[in-house]
Structure 1
Amino acid sequence: MNKKSISRKSLTDWERLEKMNDEDIDLSDCPEVTPEMFAKAIVKRGGIPVTKSKAQVTLRIDRDVLDWFKSQGHGYQTQINSLLRAYMEASK
């Protein structure tokens, strides 16, 4: 087995980045996130278990919204929960 390290020193100028304001960041090559893109997002947390105790609830949502999530296949309830969690955390 080759014991040579494959990691390299970062070429990023972290000091310059830390001094930047939000207004200084060029986002021209980043597309705006659309509701469709957000709906397809999958929230993953590295190393942190997402499974917590769950509560069964009755929730009234528009039929077309439910049908769309169901059409995404197995795990649609988990996807709905992940999107609600992402919204909750973003709103904190």
Structure 2
Amino acid sequence: MPYTYIVQCVDSTYYTGWTTNLETRLAAHNSGSGARYTRGRLPVALVYYEYYATESLARKREYAIKRLSRKTKEEMVKAFTNKQE
């Protein structure tokens, strides 16, 4: 299942990516074998995700999220967190 996700790094920055397995990808980030950006900002925590029907749609959404402002990302994360509670 393709997902677009946001993790929050220990320095409070966000990293956006896509994957077909959230658990495995989060473990890779936290083990230091994930994205170069997150390697020096461990640990990371999953704060947002969306499911998509195809990998192509997940990658397109990743690109769109990366272009958003930090404030918009913070609002997305807050709304997502409230929805999960």
Shorter-chain TM-score: what band? under 0.3
Query: Which is richer in strand?
Result: 2
For normalisation by structure 1, the TM-score amounts to 0.23
Structure with the bigger percentage of helix: 2
Q: TM-score, normalised by structure 2?
A: 0.25
Highest CA radius of gyration, 1 or 2? 1
